[in-house]
Amino acid sequence: MNSVSGTCPLTLLQQVDEYFIENRNRVLEIAAFLDRLDRAPDPVRGDAFSDFRMEAFRKALAALAGETSSRVNQIQEIFSDPTTEPLEKLTRKSARGAYEPQKQEAK
């Protein structure tokens, strides 16, 4: 039992009954997204494919399969910028969803 046990009024079985199908679909959506990447006209497998967003995405998927009860926090941390110092200059307008270490450190 962790400190937030019992904060959802639904029992475990009630939650599964109510939410299983839509979450089953979410898992299939992610699988289809990854399969779609493999069907790209320029498929590159393994380490050669080094887009920082997808690297974070794969780490998030590993966290998703973990046994901890704080998966959301773990995944938020994986995607987050861990630095504390403000940027010297504005280099773009919007966030991209995942932290890009090399580029940030080169600034």
Residue 17 near another protein by CB under 8 A: no
Asked whether the beta carbons of 88 and 107 are under 8 A apart, the reply is yes
Asked whether the beta carbons of 82 and 99 are under 8 A apart, the reply is yes
Task: Provide CB contacts within 8 A for 86, sequence distance 6+.
Answer: none
Instruction: Give whichever of 48 and 95 is closer to another protein, judged by the CB atom.
Output: 95
Residue 66 near another protein by CB under 8 A: no
Residue 27 near another protein by CB under 8 A: no
> Residues in the site for another protein, rule: CB under 8 A?
4, 7-10, 14, 18-19, 72-73, 76-77, 79-84, 86-99
